Structures are given as C-alpha cells and as structure tokens.
Amino acid sequence: MKKRVAVCCSPLLVALWAAAVVCWAPLLEASMEAEELHLPGGVYGPESIAFDCRGEGPYAGVSDGRILKWKGPALGWTLFAVTSPNREGKECNGEPETEPACGRPLGLKFDHSSSSSSSSSCELYIADAYYGLLAVGPHGGLARQLASSAHGVPLRFTNALDIDSQNAAVYFTDSSTLFQRRVWVSSIMKGDKTGRLLKYDLRTKNVTVLLNGLAFPNGVALSTNSSFLIMAETGTLRILKFWLKGPKTHTAEIFAELERFPDNIKRTNNGDFWIAMNTARGKLETQTWTGESRGVTLQHGEVKIPWLRGDPVAVKLDERGAVKGMLDGGDGQALESVSEVEESRGRLWIGSAVKPYIGLIING
C-alpha cells in the first residue's frame, strides 16, 4: 500500500525526501519519485499553484508578493504579475511587516472557460490576503482589483477561490474581518469567527456574502457540475459543503471532519478533491473549537475519516466524501507544511506556506 519515495535531487535534500511516504493511490502499486522545484533565492511560501489555459506553468504566489511563472529548466522562474500598486520604492522581502504594501497572493486559479487555447481570454483570478479579489490577463503585470469589500465590510484576509465560469461566478473566502494574514495564529487561537464565504458575480460585479460567522474559512473548490462547493473551515478542522443548486441551495452541512488543520482544496480531473492539511502534527486541542454555535445550521454528515495510521498531510476525497487516497508525510520535514495539492498530468504539485520550493511527486 505505502511506498517509499525515491529521491532524485541534491544530496542535501535526500534526507528530507527519504522521510516522505506516499500512498495517494492506495490501490495502485506505482513507483513514485519526488522532486523539489526550487523558487528563486530568498522567496518562499508557494501557497497555491495554478496552470494556465495552455497548460503552462506552474504559477505560484510567493512570500515577496510576486506571482511567478515557471518556464522550464532553461528559463526558470519569471515574474508574471503583482497584486499591489504600492510596491514602488518598498523593500518587498517577504518579511511579515512588508506584506500590506507588497501584497501576498494566496489563492490562484485560471479561468479555463474560454475552452479555446487562445491565450487572449485566459484570466488569472487571485485571492490576495491584503488586496482582495483580483484578476490579471494572460500577459500578467499589475492585477486589477475586482473586490475589496463585501456588504460594506472590507475584505481583511482574502484567502482562496474557485471559478464557476458557466454561471459567471467566483467563490472565495475571507478568513477574518479582524485579523490579517501576518497574525493568522491569533485568529485561530482566539477562536475568531468573523470569516466569510463570498461570491463575486462576474456580470454585475457584485459581491454577495453566502456564509458568515466562520472560523477561519480557507480553501474552496466547486464540484464538477457546480451543484455544490466544499470549503475548509480551518478553525473547526472541518470541511463544509455548501449547496449551490437543488432543494438545499444556499444551505451548509458538514462534509468531513478532520484531525488536522485543512488548508487549500483542489479538485482533480476526476471530480475528487485534494484537501491539504497544513501543519499541526502535534496533538491539537480540537475540543476548544468544536460544538460552538454559528450563524448557520449544520447537520452532521456521515463521513468520518479513518485516522488510524500514518502522517496524513493531505487527503483525497470523492464527491461523497469517501477517502480515495492520502499523502503521508512520514513524519519528515519535507512535507511538514502542505498548503495545497494539485493533481495534474499524473503528478502531485505540492504547495507550502513556508517552504522555498514546490514539491513534485510523479506517479509513474
């Protein structure tokens, strides 16, 4: 079931990766290799990963506020876009106090709807922790701000997004109206429940609040036909399901309960969801945050993940919440802070809020 990850990187990193164990396709006896796609010197935290409409990339937002594009081994990383118009003359070095001026792009997603491979309409949507919801065209540059508040309350900590092109909607999360990203730990520790799930209408340009009173809403991903979305509520260690179609439209229920902090969620081509579980391998006092009332009525689902073994740093669930695979960190350093898992072209691209590289696991 589990396989040791083979290593094909610098000797220094061998030790790190050797500790990583993968069983993301438990029924498949495939040989796997792990690599590290290192960022340019001095930057870190490729929290979210995206590929454009021509399959180029990955693109990643990093600690100094830039969105970089990987152009292959010969050209390496190049600057693609920035979210802040205030970077001029500022020292954007990734230090937390520079984030408000420099921006910190978190959620990234290209609008693949244009279907054609024409690069003229492939917009990149960006959830920036300090600059709200933005978009930038295929040539990059300074992104234009689409939304900076919702129902009159400023977006304080925009975090993740997904796009329903057919219905011209972008769903996104604002993790807190009180705490900015630099002090996110306070939001968790204080049991802050001011987070919101939001919808941006691409036609009317209006922002609607779908859910509020959330404890650190984080990753969000639509189901294949957009009949629902799932959203990580990091503060309660839960995945919520929010209906967008059918009789339960605009109601929430519990999709899964975890034992670690969920971060970003990415849907696979098969319609499954990879849920990254960022940090907190240590024992968590989860009781503090469960069972408290909130603004919406939640019904308990039937799904309970079997946390019997291993060191899960990401879990793959199908549309009904059944476990399809998991990424086991093997108690090593390499996968100690996984923020996102993007399954693309037979590979797992692994984002992190702290590492200076994108992890890459090849299922070959």
Ligand X SMILES: *[C@@H]1O[C@H](CO)[C@@H](O)[C@H](O)[C@H]1NC(C)=O
Residues of this chain that interact with ligand X (CB under 6 A) are 204, 206, 224-225, 227, 245, 319
- In the complex, least distance from residue 245 CB atom to ligand X, rounded to whole angstroms: 5
- In the complex, least distance from residue 200 CB atom to ligand X, rounded to whole angstroms: 11
- Residue 253, classified by CB atoms within 10 Å of its CB into exposed (0-12), middle (13-18) or buried (19+), is middle
- In the complex, least distance from residue 203 CB atom to ligand X, rounded to whole angstroms: 8
> Phi, psi (5° rounding) for residue 322?
-75, 145
Distance, CA of 327 to CA of 338 (rounded, Å): 10
280/303 with CB nearer ligand X: 303
Hey, what's the torsion of the CAs at 254, 258, 264, 268, to 10 degrees? -80
90/245 with CB nearer ligand X: 245
Question: How many other C-beta atoms lie within 10 A of the C-beta of residue 203?
Answer: 8
Q: How far is CA 110 from the centre of its chain?
A: 13
Distance, CA of 173 to CA of 199 (rounded, Å): 9
Closest C-alpha among 195, 149, 160 to residue 175? 195
> Phi, psi (5° rounding) for residue 153?
-105, 125
- In the complex, least distance from residue 206 CB atom to ligand X, rounded to whole angstroms: 4
- In the complex, least distance from residue 149 CB atom to ligand X, rounded to whole angstroms: 12
Q: If DSSP codes are grouped into helix, strand and coil, which group holds residue 289?
A: helix
Judge whether 312 and 327 are in contact, CB under 8 Å.
yes
Longest dimension (CA), the chain: 56
> Phi, psi (5° rounding) for residue 3?
-130, 140
- In the complex, least distance from residue 240 CB atom to ligand X, rounded to whole angstroms: 18
222/350 with CB nearer ligand X: 222
Judge whether 173 and 218 are in contact, CB under 8 Å.
yes
271/346 with CB nearer ligand X: 271
206/290 with CB nearer ligand X: 206
- In the complex, least distance from residue 64 CB atom to ligand X, rounded to whole angstroms: 35
Judge whether 48 and 108 are in contact, CB under 8 Å.
yes
78/270 with CB nearer ligand X: 270
- In the complex, least distance from residue 224 CB atom to ligand X, rounded to whole angstroms: 6
Q: If DSSP codes are grouped into helix, strand and coil, which group holds residue 214?
A: strand
10/204 with CB nearer ligand X: 204
- Residue 282, classified by CB atoms within 10 Å of its CB into exposed (0-12), middle (13-18) or buried (19+), is exposed
Distance, CA of 11 to CA of 9 (rounded, Å): 6
16/222 with CB nearer ligand X: 222
- Name the token pair of 15: 């030790």
- In the complex, least distance from residue 133 CB atom to ligand X, rounded to whole angstroms: 15
Angle at 75 between CA 69 and CA 81, to 5 degrees: 25
